[in-house]
Amino acid sequence: MKNNFVQEKEYGGYLEFEYFHGKEYHKDAYGFNTARQAFRYVLRERHIQKIYLPEYLCPVILEACNQEGVTVKFYPVDKSFRPLVDKVSKDEWLYFINFYGQFDNNQIRIFHQQYPHMIIDNTQAFFQKPLQDVDTIYTCRKFFGVTDGAYLYTQIPKNIYEQLPYDQSAKRVEYLIGRLENNASAYYEEFKHIQRTYSGLSILRMSKFTRNMMKGINYDFVKRKRTNNFRHLNNILGEINEIPLKCIEGGYMYPLFIKNASQIRNKLIQKKIFIPVFWPNDKLAKQIHSVAYHLTYDVLPLPIDQRYCEVDMDNISMVILNAINGV
């Protein structure tokens, strides 16, 4: 035993949150605090000056471009979420969102051949592997009970990434624990407060807490539950859905494109089935004939996540079908 003892860490005292020893699904990717910060990292390190964004878009993506001083052009998507862009110049990039994971890698590869300077947003397709040598972004919060975390596959040198400090999640976890031990409504205001704080974050590495949590997830279970729930809903609602959907593995939500969606949404809320709106804004509200408007207000993103089973999908479907039939 050596006599030159060096104090490098604490010993004893109370135990911290338990460490998990499984493997992250995206263990080879760079880990960031949020997807928007991963996107900012790509914008900054690729020295991107001009980029095309879809009109149907989460506003935080535009916010990230504004923060990095990037010039933005918008392109439309069709009802099947396909990008409608004729040409992108050599000095311009295209931001491609894999909406609801409806594009497999063979399709994305075709788009990439057309738009070589492309960033892939797989935040709604966690279980889809990235294309080689294409910057690809994933998020953790849309699929799992964590407060933050995102992954980026990129060829940007790792030494730049490794210089970034770690984020810290300790002050964000109350609403997650609260929902586990109580209910969503009791902590909803705290949840909204935490969501607002993400806009002010710097580009940081994924927190050690979130990275630990991502090592404790049964990914096979989650993927199987989401896949089964998506397929079950599609078997019931596919005939009335105005979007022809592919039943993908480990989907995010089931997008039901239907007329009178707002009235059906209200019926769902009455039954404590809470459906988000992706993504409303004042400008879009005036463009009632645009595809982006209909994708925002006429699509019901139905929950299919690992908390639910086929009986739950039956219950959700029954409320929707009864609302359609005036029951």
Q: What is the pLDDT of residue 3?
A: 65
Which pLDDT value is given to residue 327?
A: 72
Residues of the chain with CATH 3.90.1150.10: 219-322
- In this predicted structure, what is the pLDDT of residue 264? 96
What is the pLDDT at residue 8?
Answer: 75
- Model-level pTM? 0.94
Q: Is domain 30-210 annotated with CATH 3.40.640.10? A: yes
From-to residues of CATH 3.40.640.10 in the chain: 30-210
- 219-322 belongs to which homologous superfamily? Aspartate Aminotransferase, domain 1 (3.90.1150.10)
At residue 284, the pLDDT reads: 62
Q: Looking at residue 280, what is its pLDDT?
A: 86
Per-residue model confidence (pLDDT) at position 54: 95
User: What's the pLDDT at 180?
Assistant: 92
Length, in residues, of the chain: 327
Within its chain, how far is the Cα of 30 from the centroid?
Answer: 16
The closest alpha carbon to 232, from 308, 155, 321, 118, belongs to 308
Kindly write down the DSSP assignment for every residue of 197-238, as one continuous string.
HGGG--S-BPPHHHHHHHTS--HHHHHHHHHHHHHHHHHHHG
The pLDDT, as a whole number, for residue 285 is 59
Closest CA to 94 of 83, 104, 103: 83
For position 56, what pLDDT does the model report?
A: 94
The count of C-alpha atoms lying within 13 angstroms of the C-alpha of 168, restricted to the half-sphere facing its C-beta, is: 2
Distance CA 74, CA 63 (A): 14
Q: What is the mean pLDDT of each run of 10 residues along the chain (327 residues)?
A: 69 91 97 98 98 95 97 95 93 98 97 96 98 96 97 95 96 93 90 91 97 98 98 97 95 96 94 92 71 93 97 98 89
Q: Give the pLDDT of residue 5.
A: 65
